[in-house]
Chains A and B, each alone.
Chain A
Amino acid sequence: MISSDPKKVQRICFDNIEVENMHKLEVAKKHGAYAFLPTVLNEFDTDRIIDEVKTSGLRGRGGAGFPTGLKWSFVPRNTGKPTYLLCNADEGEPGTFKDRDIMRFNPHLLIEGMIMAGFALGVKDAYIYVRGEFLHEYNVMCEAINEAYAANLLGENILGTGFSMNLLMHRGAGAYVCGEETALIESLEGKSGRPRFKPPFPAVEGFYACPTVVNNVETISTIPAILEHGGAWHAAIGKPNNTGCKIFSVSGHVNKPGNYEVPMGTSLRTLVEDFCGGLQHGTVPKVIIPGGSSTPWLLGEHYDVPLTYDDIMKAGSFLGSGAIIILDETADVVAVTRRLAHFYAHESCGQCTPCREGTGWVERILNRVDAGEGTQADIKVLKDASAHMAGRTICALAEGAAASVLSMLKHFPEEVEAKLAEKSS
């Protein structure tokens, strides 16, 4: 669902998102796609590109917010092994749907970013791992990649510059955990997607034990603008340490849900009121899930929070992937938590006991509570289980699973109590 901006704001990834047929190479080229690529391939080198990306302040848009230039600088050089570039297009965090729009409406932006990032890292083979459900987006991307090969933008000796790189689309098959970068690597190796212990980090030992960079779609799609306009240009947008623009996927109880790219630091209220047409009911959200379902809840009092990594963290949560789920006054927070608990129990890969067992316990108890059959003892176990899941597992899935439960218990104890009371009434 594409949502045009009602106001003129700086945009980067969505700059040409409304252009008709932008997915076609011919149209994309008319709007500047690949225009700066020869300059990068001919005049830039690894150090200069990494420096520009570091200067830009770009932080990973997939959820963790790790500085992209720094991530790239960790890749060891001259190891004698190939370096791989993997694009994470698994986009499974409930509430997130931004990468989908880049892929289906402006695939060449992502491809150009992959070529530039691949060139910087000395990559011969790059892959885009897209969630299996995105069949349409997969097909659009494949067609765009074919066009790029035919135009010598991919493959051998790209545009006569001596740089060669292959790019292949690879479909996942419905496992949320594969959005975690080491699970994604496992999956791309043809295995079940179980996250790996870190260290070693993928930059040193990733895909088939070779140096590997995994970057999100939005991150990669920001690279062409950074290299063309310079890192300093990007750093001047947004806020210090939270530079550039960010696509926010807003859904739930808003009148115009959609993807909106705005400069970092825009307030949540501005985003919801001016761009998303306001709330379906009431004037202030009951719950704000600011960065995808795995992030702790914010409340109405945080409605004016500036949308930056640092400000959201100060408020007690995470910006995550920029997936904002709004619950208005009509929401049943216990039912929503119960539904999210089902999700995490279903998606736990099962290798760590606290997650495998904990998500199951949490789901079963919440099913009881939401059905009006819960007891005080259930609440005690719920608190215990949630508190003991986080920080005791290989990946962050369990922590994400606990976030909504702990938020519900902390902020809405009376609503939980009311469900328990249903039993005796």
Chain B
Amino acid sequence: MSASEMPKFSEERLAEIDALVKRYPSAKSALMPVLYMAQQDFGYLSMDTQQMVADVLQLRLMEVREVVTFYTMFKEQPHGKYLLEVCTNASCMLNGADELYAHMKEYLGIGPGEITEDGLFSIAEVECAGACAGAPVVQVNNIYHEKATAESMEALITKVRAGEAI
């Protein structure tokens, strides 16, 4: 990748980051929110993006790497436009989450870490989403879909593929 293709935050983002850093006793505290911004702007956290975040906050790359690799919500690989995250922890499991997850993988024809051919979907099994009254819970780009069923998820996938809002 040439220098011109290196990821770069917009001026607005940099101003936002400057303001945010002032809200903490030290700039390092802003690392996680800035990683979220980078993930939102660039889709995922490539090594170049992580280096850029390190530069912006004047941290060493390793300090950024430690955080990115520790937390599951920071993604180092690209995923589909819609990330479907199925909770299969105890309360969801007791209400059919394993079967739902298996069904969704089969319906989409992908496993975890893969992307559907149309680039729209990825799927993952996640830990307790903290919405156990709505078990089983599926997060779609962190929006919660509670009491999810094979039918409701197929309907959602169909809507997305038809270009409709969900």
Contact between A3 and B70 (Cβ–Cβ < 8 Å)? no
Known A-B contacts A95-B90, A97-B133, A175-B71; the reply to A347 vs B127 at CB < 8 A is yes
Q: Name the residue of chain B whose CB is nearest to the CB of A2.
A: B133
A207 at the interface (CB under 8 A from B): yes
- Provide the B22-44 mask, 1 if CB < 8 A to any CB of A, else 0: 01111011111101100000000
Rounded to whole angstroms, the CA-CA distance of A96 and B128 in the bound complex is 9
A40 at the interface (CB under 8 A from B): no
A415 at the interface (CB under 8 A from B): no
Residue from the list B29, B32, B142 in contact with A135, Cβ < 8 A: B142
Contact between A175 and B93 (Cβ–Cβ < 8 Å)? no
Residue from the list A166, A173, A175, A190 in contact with B23, Cβ < 8 A: A166
A231 at the interface (CB under 8 A from B): no
- Provide the A162-198 mask, 1 if CB < 8 A to any CB of B, else 0: 0000101011111110000000000111111100000
Rounded to whole angstroms, the CA-CA distance of A327 and B135 in the bound complex is 14
A339 at the interface (CB under 8 A from B): yes
Contact-size category for B: 35 or more
Contact between B29 and A339 (Cβ–Cβ < 8 Å)? no
Contact between B72 and A173 (Cβ–Cβ < 8 Å)? yes
Known A-B contacts A94-B89, A133-B142; the reply to A252 vs B131 at CB < 8 A is no
Known A-B contacts A174-B71, A190-B31, A339-B88; the reply to A136 vs B94 at CB < 8 A is no
**B126 contacts across to A, CB distance below 8 A:** 174
Known A-B contacts A94-B132, A136-B143, A170-B33; the reply to A257 vs B91 at CB < 8 A is yes
B82 at the interface (CB under 8 A from A): no
Contact between B23 and A131 (Cβ–Cβ < 8 Å)? no
Rounded to whole angstroms, the CA-CA distance of A347 and B126 in the bound complex is 11
Contact between A132 and B71 (Cβ–Cβ < 8 Å)? yes
Q: Name the residue of chain B whose CB is nearest to the CB of A404.
A: B90
Q: Name the residue of chain B whose CB is nearest to the CB of A135.
A: B142
A253 at the interface (CB under 8 A from B): yes
Residue from the list B66, B73, B91 in contact with A191, Cβ < 8 A: B66
Rounded to whole angstroms, the CA-CA distance of A412 and B61 in the bound complex is 49
**B63 contacts across to A, CB distance below 8 A:** 190-191
A293 at the interface (CB under 8 A from B): yes
4 residue pairs, one from A and one from B, having the closest CB atoms: A173-B71, A251-B132, A192-B70, A190-B28
Given A3-B133, A97-B132, A336-B90, 19 other A-B residues pairs in contact with their CB atoms under 8 A:
A94-B132, A125-B25, A133-B129, A133-B130, A136-B144, A171-B32, A173-B36, A173-B72, A173-B74, A192-B71, A208-B26, A249-B132, A252-B94, A252-B95, A252-B132, A257-B134, A325-B91, A325-B132, A336-B94
